[in-house]
Structures are given as structure tokens and as C-alpha cells.
Amino acid sequence: MIHQVDESLKEDKEAIMGFIQNNKNDVSELYKKISCSYYLKETVGEAQIKEKFSFVFGLDSLDGDYERFRELRTLVEIQNKNYELVLQESFVQNDSMILSISIYSIFLFGLITLGISFVNLNISKRLWLPFYAILKRIESYQPGKNKDLKFKGGTIDEFKILSTTLNEMSSRIDKSFANQKKFIDNISHELQTPLMIAKSNLELLFQQKKIDVKTAELYSRLDANLGTMKQLNNSLLLLSRIENEQFSDSEKIEISGIITDYLNQYNEQIDAKKIQVETTFNNEIQISMNPVLAEILIGNLIRNSIVHNDKSGDLLINISGNIMEISNTGPHVDIDPEMLFGKYVQFGKSENSTGIGLSIVKEICNYYCFTINYKIIGKAHVINIQFDTSESL
């Protein structure tokens, strides 16, 4: 815009000089040709003025406000005399035009940016759609349960490679998991018979007439070990049955009733260890699940809280909303509480513990989509279960 105004001032300068040199007297004809105002000022002495463009502020004769003008100062010679020719053209309209163009340009650039961003976002979503589909399948993947799981990579080579690799990996995991379950199931069944035979023979041996004290002690230790092996074997069978979804029958279960029954069953152990029991049932939790699994779930938790409790310790059971919390005192454990849900994990020095009780509890919770948490606060071991009561409501 500045260049355009400067060119206009140069043209007006040529028009004025042509008018003067041709000695024309009709000034109105000149003002039809030019768009600026001008004046001549005679210079004194030698001419030292060079042609120069600049911005100046001047008073507008129409509205009385100061405005910005573009000015051209140059030296001209008229009748052998040097004059300074000053031409001025208002730049206010040009400023407004520049502002308008700038505003519209910014607006247009913003629209273009939004448009490109929108297009890129949609293209990115379409490009990454197979990846997010793969992620969603991975999140829902459970070994041995996703029989129809097939990862699809779409048309992108990298995602095709990823999906192929994941399909092969999941197949290996499922195969290994199935073999492991089959092995546990088979070995547990196979162990039942020799364990029963060994226990029967041991009982027959104990019924002999002449048995000394050492033999009786040895019998007691062997009998205890066989009992532990039988308990472990039964637990493995139970885990296998849960994982194979063999407990499909369900009925409405009241949690507080099962808790009360098991506390009565373990009353002698509670009295022997002088455990202070406190139960708080703010409401009743009714859930739909297999009654056998419900009793195993509550029974294992109460048994653990008694077996691993301190002498003269505390056992607190609280029900509020759809959450059951069992807290008991016990020895401090320097491992992650979540690891205690693993198989064969033991803590403390309790006898006849297979280290598989909490893993059965965890498996039952997973089977029914219950949320279970284990935390240790000082000497207190706290387990809380959030039951899914949606099917019961």
C-alpha cells in the first residue's frame, strides 16, 4: 500500500511539473489529474534537497482532526529558480484498508487452520482406528477365555505386522494356559487315589498293637502332611473347576448370614486365640452367585483372618452399601499386598496353610466381576470386596 501511494505521488509530481512547464492557467484541469495536495516553496541558496518520502501528521480541513499523510519532498526548477515541491496524500483510507485486509486475512487463515486441523484429525482417527481396535481387544483379553480373539490390522503395513504378531502370541499364551489347566486338572485327579491309599495304610499302621512314642509322633507328622497335601489337591481342583466355569448355577445369597455361620463354626479357634470379634452390618448385601462359591469365598477370608491373627488380636467385619470389609491384626508383611493373591504365597508361621486360599478368593471375585483390594495399615490386614449387586436389584 505504501508503494502504491508513493507511485501515485510520483505521478502527481509529473502532472504538476507538466502543468507548470506548459504554462497552463486552468488549475481545475490539474486537480482532475491529481489526488493529492501540494505547495511550492522557493529555496534560498544552493539546492541541497533530495527526493524523500515520509509519513507526516497534518490537520484535515474537513473534520479538523489530525491524520497521517504520506509526503513527497523533491526539488524542482521553475524559470531558473529552485523550488521545493511538497506533495501530501492522506493515508487514513489506506490504513483502514490495511486493517480490514489484515482482519480478513487472519480470519481466513484461522478458518484454513481449523479446516486443516479438522481434516487431519479425521484422517488420523481413520488411520489409527485399527490400532485402537487392537488396544481394546488387548484390554479385554483373558488367557483361555477369548476363543474368537483375532487382531485385525486394517490396510496399514505396520498394523498388519502388529496384529499378526499379537495373534501368534495370544495363540501361544492360550495354548500354554490350556496345557497348564489340563495338567493341574489331571494331576489333581490322579493324586486323589494315592493320597487316599497312603492315608488308609497309615491308619492301618497306627492300629498296630505295639507302637512306641516316636512312632506315634512320626504318624502324627505324616498324617498332618497328608492332610495338607489333600487340602492342596482339593484347592487345585477347585481352582480348575472355577476357571473351567463349572459353577454356573446361581441363587440369591445373603452375605451377613454366611459370615455369622462361619464365625459360629470357628468359635473354638477364636476363643483359643482370644480374638476380639466385632461385626457391623449397616445393611444386607444380596447377590446372585453359586452358593458353594459364596461359602468358599467368605469361609476362606474368615479362616485366614483367624489363622493369621495375633493372640488377643482383633477381627473386624463391616458391611456398608455393597462393600464388605474384613480387618484383622497380624504380622507385618514386607511384600506388595497384591502379591498375596498369588498361588502358593505364604506369610507368617501358621501350620496347614497351602498358600492358595487367597488365590481362590481372587479367582472367585474375577469370575463374578467383584472388586477386591488388600492393604496393610500398620498391624492391620484389611481386605474389602465390592460386590456387583446389579443383577440382584
The segment with the largest mean pLDDT, out of 84-93, 138-147, 152-161, 313-322, is: 313-322
- The pLDDT score that the predictor gives to residue 352 is 52
Any idea what the Cα angle at residue 361 is, between residues 360 and 365, rounded to 5°? 115
Task: Report whether pLDDT(325) > 90.
Answer: yes
- pLDDT > 70 in the chain, percent: 77
Task: Report whether pLDDT(127) > 70.
Answer: yes
In sequence order, which residues have a C-beta less than 8 Å from that of residue 41 and are 6 or more positions away? 83, 84, 86
The per-residue pLDDT of the chain, averaged, comes to 79
Average pLDDT over residues 233-261: 76
- The Cα–Cα gap between 104 and 102 comes to 6
pTM > 0.85: yes or no: no
- The pLDDT score that the predictor gives to residue 149 is 67
Return the domain boundaries, the chain. Answer: 2-90, 157-243, 251-386
Task: Report whether pLDDT(143) > 80.
Answer: no
Task: Report whether pLDDT(147) > 70.
Answer: no
The segment with the largest mean pLDDT, out of 121-135, 193-207, 347-361, is: 121-135
100 or 7: which carries more pLDDT confidence?
Answer: 7
- The Cα–Cα gap between 314 and 156 comes to 61
CATH architecture of 251-386: 2-Layer Sandwich (3.30)
Average pLDDT over residues 306-318: 90
In sequence order, which residues have a C-beta less than 8 Å from that of residue 309 and are 6 or more positions away? 273, 275, 315, 328, 329, 330
- pLDDT > 90 in the chain, percent: 14
- The pLDDT score that the predictor gives to residue 31 is 64
- The pLDDT score that the predictor gives to residue 180 is 74
Domain 157-243 fold: Helix Hairpins (1.10.287)
Find out whether 9 and 89 touch, Cβ atoms under 8 Å.
yes
